[in-house]
Amino acid sequence: MTILAAPAPSAPPKQVRRPAGRLGEIALRVVAGLVLVYLFLPIFVIILFSFNKPNGKYNYQWQHFSLDAWQNPCAAPGMCESVRLSLEIGLAATIIATVLGTLMAFALARYRFAGRSATNLLIFMPMATPEVVMGSSLLTLFVSMAIPLGFLTIFIAHVMFCVSFVVVTVKARIAGLDPRLEQAAMDLYANERQTFMRVTLPLVAPGIAAGALLAFSLSFDDYIITNFNSSSTTQTFPLFVWGASQKGTPPQMNVVGTVMFLVSFLLVGIGQFIAWQRRRAKA
């Protein structure tokens, strides 16, 4: 009896790249690199001029390398106070906007109710409305309600326009979830609370974190709405930068910008490293 050996599986054909495809890939990489350079060039200038020794009150021309601004970042009068105020408002507005935006995102993505389409439309209104219009409208509201301008009015205004960005970010994450994961958890006798805490929330957490970081960046950076709804004694960092640019630009402003960029870059890097570790563990 003759036993025939099974034929060895043939190797998959090698994909041969055409010259035109290689040129297109090279061109795409070159264009992407130029776009990144264009986007990061102002940041590189900020980092560079944070080490500049200005000659006069304006910090627009390079003189020579100096660490004076880094050794005494609070040399500019009122700057550190404005940074502290921006951090306080940004953190408070981020917490409230993240909580409200996450709850709204779950309601809009998981439930059907009357007015759901209109609510989805209204969510985009603060994002599409010009900041000048929103700032002046909020100022009219606060003045008509006799609410004194200051920390509270800035906080309310920042929460109002940050909520929309959190809702959109978290809702996109919820829409991309696989419902079979939650169904599998319930098949394993997990109740709704356990399924949400152990399955749904960990999967949505990256979207919530992204929405919170976006909300904090928008709050810390906002100038127009803040300018309408702040008092003469309440000065955030963007307001300080605008006022300082009229009479001089201390290098300490570039130090603050550099620190904020490095912190943001570090947070993104940590997130990417955690994601890479998870992919490596699954592989």
Q: Are 195 and 186 in contact (CB under 8 A)?
A: yes
CA separation for the pair 43, 52 (Å, rounded) = 15
The class that CATH gives domain 78-250 is mainly alpha
Query: Across the 283 residues of the chain, what is the mean pLDDT of every consecutive 10-residue run?
Result: 53 58 86 93 89 74 83 85 93 95 91 84 86 92 92 93 93 87 84 87 89 92 92 89 80 87 86 82 76
Which whole-number Å values give the CA distances from 144 to 62, 140, 155, 156, in the listed order? 49, 6, 18, 15
CA separation for the pair 94, 53 (Å, rounded) = 36
Which residue type is seen at 212?
A
CA separation for the pair 95, 185 (Å, rounded) = 29
Q: Which of 105, 210, 94 has its CA nearest to residue 161?
A: 94
Which residue type is seen at 255?
V
Give the H/E segment covering residue 26: helix 19-49
Which whole-number Å values give the CA distances from 29 to 1, 13, 259, in the listed order? 61, 27, 29
Which whole-number Å values give the CA distances from 15 to 12, 18, 25, 27, 99, in the listed order? 9, 9, 15, 20, 50
CA separation for the pair 232, 228 (Å, rounded) = 11
CA separation for the pair 213, 165 (Å, rounded) = 10
CA separation for the pair 93, 210 (Å, rounded) = 15
Q: Which residues of 92-125 are buried (b: 16+ CB within 10 A; e: fewer)?
A: bbbebbbeebbebbbebbeeeeeeeeeeeeebee
Q: Are 254 and 244 in contact (CB under 8 A)?
A: no
CA separation for the pair 7, 4 (Å, rounded) = 9
CA separation for the pair 52, 66 (Å, rounded) = 6
- pTM across the whole model: 0.81
Q: Which of 224, 197, 239 has its CA nearest to residue 85?
A: 239
Give the H/E segment covering residue 184: helix 179-187
Judged by DSSP in three states, 274 sits in helix
Domain boundaries, the chain: 25-66, 78-250
pLDDT at 269: 86
Q: Count Cβ atoms below 10 Å from residue 151 Cβ, excluding itself.
A: 17
Q: Which of 210, 218, 251 has its CA nearest to residue 236?
A: 218
pLDDT at 15: 57
Q: Which of 230, 237, 270 has its CA nearest to residue 83?
A: 237
Burial label for 241, CB within 10 Å (0-12, 13-18, 19+), is middle
